[in-house]
Amino acid sequence: MAGLVLISTAPGSLEQEEIVVFCAASLTGAFKEIGDMYQESTGIEVSLNFDGTQVLRTQLEQGACADVFVSANRKHMDALMAQGLMINDTVQVFTENSMVVIVPKDNPADIRSLRDLERPGVKIVMGTRDVPVGSYALQVLDKLAEDPDFGPLYRDRVLSNVISREMNVNYVVSKISLGEADAGFAYSSDVTPVIGEKVSAIEIPQEYNVLAEYTLGVLAQSENPALARDFIEAVNSEEGRSILTKYGFKPVGLQPEVNSSLMLDPHPSMQAGLQAAA
């Protein structure tokens, strides 16, 4: 973090006492802590704007001012790059995530496996098609539909059970935490120890899952691109990567740490099947 201290006393740094970061909602906990770390090290205030990635992209396209954009997928970052709104050589994949199905802790619908999502009457929430968490969920369902053991009818039945499509993943997690739905598609990083007191997670097998790649970069209209680059270095620093890992993300080049205590125990019939397969 020595470089962070040096930049706080560099010429011109007093002219910019704040850095504005537009950040995907799923990174709320991690980036609040990284922002605090950066501010403590440099004296530069970090103003964080969290929302669905597609909402942030629209705000930036309409002229909102920011220094750094953090996207939960490549699609929206690529769109801003194509419009000349990013300093393209600063854009990079910095961390990864994966999908899970979450259910209320008391699990009133007795959702124990992906199969249970197609049962008539099950209430499911997911992101809209444009928000990354919604797009990733649809990709998961597409992969399941390609497997003869599930098939297209499975995907159609699951989608027919969707009662709400949310604008960011925090709304999905909130509805499941409050018991307003039976299941929802979220990121594995969303099942934090605190949230884990209210929800349980059902793992999506790797062959059906998707790798969510998070990108960040400096905006072309940043008033202090050098400071914005420095903040990105802080995110990629040992301290920043440690914070990302703590919140369930996989910084590029690191192996994920799975908290098995937050995963839902399989139904006894599933356990028997797993033992037979082993």
pLDDT one-digit tens code per residue, 191-202: 998 999 999 999
Is residue 238 very low, low, confident or very high in pLDDT (cuts 50, 70, 90)?
Answer: very high
Q: Are residues 105 and 205 in the same domain?
A: yes
pLDDT one-digit tens code per residue, 123-168: 999 999 999 999 999 999 999 999 999 999 999 999 999 999 999 9
Average pLDDT over residues 27-55: 96
Average pLDDT over residues 75-86: 97
CATH of the domain at 27: 3.40.190.10
- Is 262 within a domain? no
Nearest to 105 by CA among 53, 183, 209: 183
Please, are residues 246 and 92 in contact by the beta-carbon 8 Å criterion? no
pTM of the model: 0.81
Stated as kind and residue range, the H or E segment containing 102 is strand 99-104
Tokens 């209430």 belong to: 123
Q: Are residues 142 and 71 in the same domain?
A: no
Please, are residues 216 and 145 in contact by the beta-carbon 8 Å criterion? no
Residue 163: give the domain boundaries: 99-210
Q: How far is Cα of residue 115 from the mean position of the Cα atoms in its chain?
A: 24
- Is 265 within a domain? no
Tokens 């709104």 belong to: 85
pLDDT over 80 (residue 11): no
